[in-house]
Structure 1
């Protein structure tokens, strides 16, 4: 295991321990579905780091547009906008199915806003990914990464 993987694993365990302490003390004032979503985003963040991605933004918002981009990461020369969907149960519909046409439209608008604010003279190659995170009690965490899940046009 390389130094980067060890560092990532230690960071992930540290954050999990801190989250557990906050929950145990009852200090989480967020609704449970938001806590679940944030836990899924944390898991996706560390999964991307393990894969060698460089995450440059989390929960990025344009301010004037609704929604946010869960994760923005570089994979080599490719800029990836990553939408994370988290579930605590495996039911009939997979988590990634929540990224419907409307959600894709919102993510495209946010992606364009992010690129307009980029200091680079030329826009980098980009893609939209979706990560489904399953945090089912009593089961090992499962993450499915759909690279290039949808494109710039509908």
Structure 2
């Protein structure tokens, strides 16, 4: 079960990442796309490329960094969720896609953008 404070921090991290990526020129397409495989935190357009973004926040590094927490299992679930999103578009031609991770650690929250993370 997720505590309200933890959920609030997660939402705060996602909004920080969204604003950061928009300042880098990416165009927001979708927030919190839910599938039976899991959630994609944000989906952006970077030119003609569709970017699936996982936002990870860690207050402390006791159990590894925020970026390290996007393990193989999480990557597989994100790929399946991205496939579901692409199917929902209903188009015959699919755009180029990539998976980015925005890792945020500690206080103050500072985003670290890992493009084409996996």
Q: Which residue of structure 2 lines up, in the alignment, with residue 80 of structure 1?
A: 51
CA contact (8 A) 1:43 1:133 kept: no
Q: Which residue of structure 1 lines up, in the alignment, with residue 82 of structure 2?
A: 111
Aligned length: 116
Q: Which residue of structure 2 lines up, in the alignment, with residue 54 of structure 1?
A: 27
1:3-152 to structure 2, matched below 5 A, reads 31-62=4-35, 65-91=36-62, 93-136=64-107, 140-150=108-118
Q: Higher relative contact order by CA 8 Å / sep ≥ 6: 1 or 2?
A: 2
TM-score by length of 1: 0.70
Gaps of 5+ in 2: none
CA contact (8 A) 1:83 1:131 kept: yes
CA contact (8 A) 2:37 2:80 kept: no
| CA deviation after TM superposition for structure 1 residue 66, in Å | 3.3
Gaps of 5+ in 1: 1-29
Of Structure 1 and Structure 2, which has the larger fraction of its residues in helix?
A: 1
* Distance in structure 2 (CA, Å) of the matches to 1:84 and 1:66: 17
Note the alpha carbon deviations across 1:97-149, whole angstroms, 9 max, x for none.
Answer: 1100110010000000000111432010000011101241xxx3311000000
Of Structure 1 and Structure 2, which has the larger fraction of its residues in strand?
A: 2
* Distance in structure 1 (CA, Å) of the matches to 2:77 and 2:61: 26
**C-alpha RMSD over aligned residues:** 1.5
